[in-house]
Chain A
Amino acid sequence: MKRLTNRLSFLSLCGAVWLVVGAAAAQDPVEFFRQNCTSCHTIGGGRLTGPDLKNVTQQKDRAWLENFIQNPRAVIDSGDPYALKLFEEARRVLMPTLPGMNPELAKKLIDLIEAESKLEESQFKGLQITDRPFTPREIEIGREIFLGSRKLANGGPACFSCHTMKGLGGLGGGRLGPDLTRVYERLKGRQGLGAWLMAPATQTMRPLFGKHPLQPDEILPLIAFLEDAAHKGGEDTSVAILNFFFLGLGGAILALVCFDAAWRWRLRGVRQPLTEGEIPRGA
Chain B
Amino acid sequence: MNVRSQISMVFHLDKCIGCHTCSIACKNIWTDRRGAEYMWWNNVETKPGCGYPTQWENQEKYRGGWERADGKLRLRSTGKGKVIFNIFHHPHMPSMDDYYEPWTYDYQHLFNAPEGPDQPTARPISMVTGEPIDIKAGPNWDDDLGGSPIYAENDPNLEGLTEEQKQQLSAIERLVFFYFPRICNHCLNPACVASCPSGALYKRGEDGIVLVDQNRCRAWRSCIAACPYKKVFFNWFAGKSEKCILCFPRIETGQAPACFHSCVGRIRYLGVLLYDAERIEEVAKSPDEELVEAQRSMILDPWDPEVIRAAREAGIPDAMVEAAQRSPVYKFVKQWKLALPPHIEYRTLPMLFYVPPMSPVMASREQNEAVEHVSDDLFHDIDAARVPMRFLANLFGAGHEAKVRYALRKQKAVRWYRRALTVGDVEMETAERMLREADCSPEEAEQIYRLTSLCTFAERFVIPPEHREQAIEMLEDPGEHRTTAGFGFLTGPGRAM
Chain B positions within 8 Å of A275 at CB level: 136-137, 150
Is there an interface contact between A270 and B53, defined as CB atoms closer than 8 Å?
yes
The distance in angstroms between the C-alpha atoms of A269 and B100, with both chains bound, is 12
Is there an interface contact between B92 and A270, defined as CB atoms closer than 8 Å?
no
Is there an interface contact between A269 and B98, defined as CB atoms closer than 8 Å?
yes
Given contacts A271-B54, A271-B137, contact A278 B94 (CB under 8 A): no
Q: Can you list, as one digit per residue, whether each of B43-79 has a CB less than 8 Å from chain A (1) or not (0)?
A: 0000000100111001001110000000000000000
Is there an interface contact between A274 and B61, defined as CB atoms closer than 8 Å?
no
Main secondary structure of the interface of A (DSSP, over half): loop
CB distance from A10 to the nearest CB of B (A): 48
Is there an interface contact between B136 and A267, defined as CB atoms closer than 8 Å?
no
30 pairs from A and B in contact (CB 8 Å cutoff): A263-B86, A263-B91, A266-B91, A266-B92, A267-B61, A267-B63, A267-B91, A267-B93, A267-B94, A267-B98, A269-B95, A269-B97, A269-B98, A270-B54, A270-B58, A270-B62, A270-B94, A270-B98, A271-B54, A271-B55, A271-B97, A271-B98, A272-B97, A274-B54, A274-B150, A274-B151, A274-B154, A275-B136, A278-B150, A281-B134
CB distance from A266 to the nearest CB of B (A): 3
Q: Can you list, as one digit per residue, whether each of A260-283 has a CB less than 8 Å from chain B (1) or not (0)?
A: 000101110111101100100100
CB distance from B427 to the nearest CB of A (A): 50
Given contacts A272-B97, A274-B150, A274-B154, contact A267 B54 (CB under 8 A): no
Is there an interface contact between A274 and B97, defined as CB atoms closer than 8 Å?
no
Interface residues of B, Cβ cutoff 8 Å to A: 50, 53-55, 58, 61-63, 86, 91-95, 97-98, 134, 136-137, 150-151, 154
Chain B positions within 8 Å of A274 at CB level: 50, 54-55, 150-151, 154
The distance in angstroms between the C-alpha atoms of A281 and B134, with both chains bound, is 10
With an 8 Å Cβ cutoff, the count of chain A residues facing the other chain is 12
The distance in angstroms between the C-alpha atoms of A274 and B156, with both chains bound, is 12
CB distance from B233 to the nearest CB of A (A): 16
Contacting residue for A270 out of B55, B91, B136, CB 8 A: B55
Nearest to A259 among chain B residues (CB) is: B89
Chain A positions within 8 Å of B136 at CB level: 275
Q: Which of A227-272 contact B (CB under 8 A)?
A: 263, 265-267, 269-272
Chain B positions within 8 Å of A271 at CB level: 50, 53-55, 97-98, 137
Contacting residue for B61 out of A263, A270, A281, CB 8 A: A270
Nearest to B91 among chain A residues (CB) is: A266
Q: Taking each of A265, A270, A274, A281, which has the highest tally of chain B beta carbons within 10 Å of its own beta carbon? A: A270
CB distance from A227 to the nearest CB of B (A): 52
The distance in angstroms between the C-alpha atoms of A274 and B151, with both chains bound, is 8
CB distance from A282 to the nearest CB of B (A): 10
Chain B positions within 8 Å of A281 at CB level: 134
Known pairs A271-B53, A274-B50 / 9 extra A-B pairs, C-beta < 8 Å: A267-B61, A267-B63, A267-B91, A267-B93, A267-B95, A270-B53, A270-B58, A271-B50, A271-B97
- CB-based closest 10 A-B pairs: A266-B91, A271-B54, A267-B92, A270-B54, A270-B55, A270-B98, A263-B91, A271-B98, A274-B150, A270-B61
CB distance from B387 to the nearest CB of A (A): 22
Chain B positions within 8 Å of A272 at CB level: 97
Q: Taking each of A265, A266, A278, A281, which has the highest tally of chain B beta carbons within 10 Å of its own beta carbon? A: A266
Chain B positions within 8 Å of A265 at CB level: 91
The distance in angstroms between the C-alpha atoms of A266 and B77, with both chains bound, is 10
The distance in angstroms between the C-alpha atoms of A88 and B98, with both chains bound, is 76
Nearest to A281 among chain B residues (CB) is: B134
Q: Can you list, as one digit per residue, whether each of A89-124 has a CB less than 8 Å from chain B (1) or not (0)?
A: 000000000000000000000000000000000000
Nearest to A263 among chain B residues (CB) is: B91
The distance in angstroms between the C-alpha atoms of A263 and B87, with both chains bound, is 13
Q: Taking each of A265, A271, A281, which has the highest tally of chain B beta carbons within 10 Å of its own beta carbon? A: A271
Chain B positions within 8 Å of A270 at CB level: 53-55, 58, 61-62, 94, 98
Chain A positions within 8 Å of B62 at CB level: 267, 270
Chain B positions within 8 Å of A278 at CB level: 150
CB distance from B234 to the nearest CB of A (A): 14
Chain A positions within 8 Å of B95 at CB level: 267, 269
Chain A positions within 8 Å of B50 at CB level: 271, 274
CB distance from A212 to the nearest CB of B (A): 40
CB distance from A154 to the nearest CB of B (A): 42
CB distance from A172 to the nearest CB of B (A): 33
CB distance from B487 to the nearest CB of A (A): 38
CB distance from A274 to the nearest CB of B (A): 6
The distance in angstroms between the C-alpha atoms of A200 and B58, with both chains bound, is 69
CB distance from B361 to the nearest CB of A (A): 31
Chain A positions within 8 Å of B63 at CB level: 267
Chain B positions within 8 Å of A269 at CB level: 95, 97-98
Nearest to A271 among chain B residues (CB) is: B54
The distance in angstroms between the C-alpha atoms of A278 and B150, with both chains bound, is 8
CB distance from A268 to the nearest CB of B (A): 8
Chain A positions within 8 Å of B97 at CB level: 269, 271-272
Chain B positions within 8 Å of A266 at CB level: 91-92
CB distance from B343 to the nearest CB of A (A): 17
The distance in angstroms between the C-alpha atoms of A103 and B378, with both chains bound, is 114
CB distance from B369 to the nearest CB of A (A): 34
